[in-house]
């Protein structure tokens, strides 16, 4: 991963802008799931390293914009760029990362450029979907699944597809792998937002619900509650919760096994990711699924 970060830093230096470099240097690069997947599929070579750098720039750009939209002051345990430099600077840095990524995409096969460009279109659509769904209580699992498929899974699916193109493998099969992995990854993320403390998450616990987002565990809970319980859950969504309110939600999530149901759905989707990949067998892809499902942050 250090080689990928070095390429990213080189691309940033091309701007010859010390303020941009300063902001970029304060970004945490996280788990770099997409890069791990690309290298597992395409192997390590100069092209795959450069592709990973482009994908990571796109991912970082989307997170910069996401933090501005959500007014998040913390990202991966440290101050977000918008918290340190303001929303205007964060948005412009995101735009710069997108522009740099797309410029360097032009040196790749047109199928790769088209795949990633389309993924960013879908990612942006998913962001808009997410914003509008959070304006009122969303009780629909179908809308939730569509949103996470666009917002999270689209770039992961495209990354797998592009890696397969580089390696001369069946792009459609690997796109399916990435899409399933991305959907399951987001479901697990949404579960951890409830089950893990701020010290582990690097952001406040139950932050999604405070922002008005009804993720899968809350959707299972809404289905299980009676009319009075549903009204209370809807009333709590999108507000700062006190300890009693958090306890009421967590007690009922446990009562109706909402976390377990969400985990089982994520596991089923993740297992389906390998259905189309028969040959050649790649144990690294199975290991990625296991690690993603079993993670605690």
Give residue 156's pLDDT.
Answer: 97
Compute the distance between CA of residue 288 and CA of residue 286 in angstroms, rounded to an integer. Answer: 5
Compute the distance between CA of residue 100 and CA of residue 19 in angstroms, rounded to an integer. Answer: 16
Compute the distance between CA of residue 146 and CA of residue 153 in angstroms, rounded to an integer. Answer: 10
Angle between helices 87-105 and 46-70 (to 10 degrees): 150
List the Cα angle 176/182/183 in 5-degree steps: 95
* pTM, 2 dp: 0.94
DSSP 99-126: HHHHHHHTTS-HHHHHHHHHHHHHHHHH
Give residue 234's pLDDT.
Answer: 97
Based on its alpha-carbon atoms, the radius of gyration of the chain, rounded to whole angstroms, reads 19
Tens digits of residue pLDDT in 155-206 = 999 999 999 999 999 999 999 999 999 999 999 999 999 999 877 777 788 9
Spatial CB neighbours of 109, under 8 Å, sequence gap ≥ 6 = 165
- In this structure, what token pair is assigned to residue 209? 């619900």
Domain residues of the chain, as ranges?
1-108, 137-150+169-297
Give residue 203's pLDDT.
Answer: 76
Residue linked to tokens 């303001």: 86
Tens digits of residue pLDDT in 54-86 = 999 999 999 999 999 988 888 877 899 999 999
pLDDT along the chain (297 residues), means of 10: 95 96 92 94 97 98 94 86 96 97 97 98 96 96 97 97 96 96 96 88 86 97 98 96 96 98 96 85 90 81
Give residue 146's pLDDT.
Answer: 97
137-150+169-297 has which fold? Farnesyl Diphosphate Synthase (1.10.600)
Q: How many residues does the chain have?
A: 297
1-108 has which fold? Farnesyl Diphosphate Synthase (1.10.600)
Angle between helices 154-167 and 46-70 (to 10 degrees): 170
């Amino acid at each position: 991963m250090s080689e990928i970060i070095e390429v990213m830093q080189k691309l940033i230096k091309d701007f010859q802008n010390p303020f941009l470099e300063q902001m970029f240097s304060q970004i945490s690069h996280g788990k770099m799931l997409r890069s791990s997947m690309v290298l597992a599929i395409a192997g390590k070579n100069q092209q795959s390293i450069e592709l990973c750098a482009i994908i990571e720039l796109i991912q970082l750009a989307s997170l910069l914009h996401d933090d501005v939209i959500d007014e998040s002051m913390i990202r991966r345990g440290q101050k977000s760029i918008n918290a340190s430099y303001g929303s205007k600077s964060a948005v412009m840095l995101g735009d710069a990362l997108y522009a740099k990524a797309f410029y360097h995409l032009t040196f790749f096969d047109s199928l790769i450029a088209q795949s990633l460009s389309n993924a960013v279109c879908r990612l942006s659509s998913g962001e808009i979907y997410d914003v509008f769904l959070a304006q009122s209580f969303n009780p629909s699992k179908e809308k939730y699944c569509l949103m996470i498929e666009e917002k999270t899974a689209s770039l992961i699916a495209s990354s797998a597809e592009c890696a397969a193109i580089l390696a001369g493998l069946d792009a459609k099969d690997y796109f399916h792998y990435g899409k399933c992995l991305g959907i399951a990854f987001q479901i697990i993320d949404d579960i951890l937002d409830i089950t893990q403390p701020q010290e582990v998450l690097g952001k406040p616990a139950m932050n999604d619900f405070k922002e008005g987002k009804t993720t899968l565990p809350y959707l299972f809970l809404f289905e299980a509650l009676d009319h009075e319980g549903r009204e209370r859950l809807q009333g709590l969504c999108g507000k700062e919760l006190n300890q009693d309110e958090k306890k009421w939600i967590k007690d009922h999530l446990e009562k109706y096994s909402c976390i377990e149901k969400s985990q089982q759905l994520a596991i089923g989707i993740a297992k389906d990711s390998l259905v189309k990949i028969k040959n050649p067998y790649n144990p690294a892809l199975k290991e990625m699924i296991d690690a993603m499902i079993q993670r605690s942050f």
